[in-house]
């Protein structure tokens, strides 16, 4: 199984490069060499691989009532993300991979969409790839209780808001 790292993926991974304690390209190569991607069949794959040792910091954490929450666009993205200030990421031994099958090839190839240390997550509520009311509800529920650790270096600081910019989605699905 071949994993293709497009220029878009490289740009996207800039936001995650400091999350890894091991180079992300090395982890990807290791997984390819160990046939961790063999058997993939779906056109879009999201899955977790656990390693023997810690590989990075999970920046998506469960939030608490007293947390300071803001919303902002990450660099290179058009949608808002929920962030929590004054919290620390957790060291983890797992990586989530999101891959998109190369529909223009007869070979077993996938494009890397993203990868990040941590636990399974959900699409962000404004993601245009959400396909059903059930999925939007799952996404809203997840992001109502979870957030990324605030890191100004990955944000468009001009987009920061103290309120939920997609709050109308909660009303729309009610």
pLDDT in tens, 51-106: 999 999 999 999 999 999 999 999 888 999 999 999 999 999 999 999 999 998 87
Supply the range of the domain harboring residue 40.
Answer: 2-173
CB proximity list for 13: less than 8 A, separation 6 or greater: 24, 112, 114, 115
The domain total for the chain is 1
Q: What is the pLDDT of residue 28?
A: 95
Q: What mean pLDDT is reported for the chain? A: 92
| pTM above threshold 0.85 | no
The candidate with the shortest Cα–Cα distance to 78, out of 146, 12, 22, 172, is 12
Phi-psi region of 39 (alpha: psi -120 to 50; beta: other; left: phi over 0): left
């Amino acid at each position: 199984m071949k994993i293709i790292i497009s220029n878009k993926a490289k740009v996207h991974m800039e936001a995650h490069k400091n999350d890894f304690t091991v180079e992300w390209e090395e982890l990807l190569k290791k997984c390819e060499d160990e046939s961790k991607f063999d058997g993939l069949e779906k056109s879009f794959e999201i899955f977790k691989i656990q390693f023997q040792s810690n590989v990075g910091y999970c920046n998506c954490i469960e939030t608490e009532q007293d947390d300071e929450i803001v919303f902002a666009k990450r660099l290179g993205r058009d949608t808002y993300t929920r962030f929590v200030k004054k919290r620390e990421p957790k060291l983890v031994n797992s990586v989530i991979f999101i891959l998109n099958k190369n529909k223009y090839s007869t070979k077993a190839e996938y494009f890397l969409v993203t990868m990040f240390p941590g636990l399974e997550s959900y699409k962000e509520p404004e993601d245009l790839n959400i396909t059903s009311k059930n999925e939007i509800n799952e996404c809203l529920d997840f992001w109502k209780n979870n957030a990324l650790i605030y890191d100004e270096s990955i944000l468009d600081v001009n987009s920061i808001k103290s309120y939920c910019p997609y709050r109308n989605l909660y009303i729309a699905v009610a």
